[in-house]
Amino acid sequence: MNSHGHTHDTAHGHTHTQTKAVINRLSRAIGHLESVKRMVENGQDCSDVLIQLAAVRSAITNTGKIILKDHLDHCIVDAIEHDDPEALSQFKKAIDQFIK
């Protein structure tokens, strides 16, 4: 069960189609961030480090967009169909945090 009171599986009639893609993207971002850490440890040029950090940030943001779209397509559609205003409220809060 998550913070908005339901599980993300077939318990409410839908599945998340992008779970594997999200996990793969997060794994790549983690690997990329670890390589940036090594760059800092090895005294690499600050400009190069900043460029690589921007790439990591972009990868994480794009992963968040996939989660957002999947959530809209499944959880929010389900919440609307089942008249669940709490799920919609939680979604609005999540969007506010994501776009900060």
pLDDT attached to residue 14 = 61
> 53, 36 in Cβ contact below 8 A?
yes
79 CB-contact burial (10 Å; exposed 0-12 / middle 13-18 / buried 19+): buried
Which structural domains are found in the chain, ordered by start?
17-98 (1.20.58.1000)
Token pair belonging to 53: 């950090």
pLDDT digit string, tens, across residues 52-73 = 999 999 999 999 999 999 988 8
> 56, 29 in Cβ contact below 8 A?
yes
pLDDT digit string, tens, across residues 33-48 = 999 999 999 999 999 9
pLDDT, averaged across the chain: 87
pLDDT attached to residue 5 = 47
Q: Which of 30, 20, 95, 41 is nearest to 64 (CA)?
A: 95
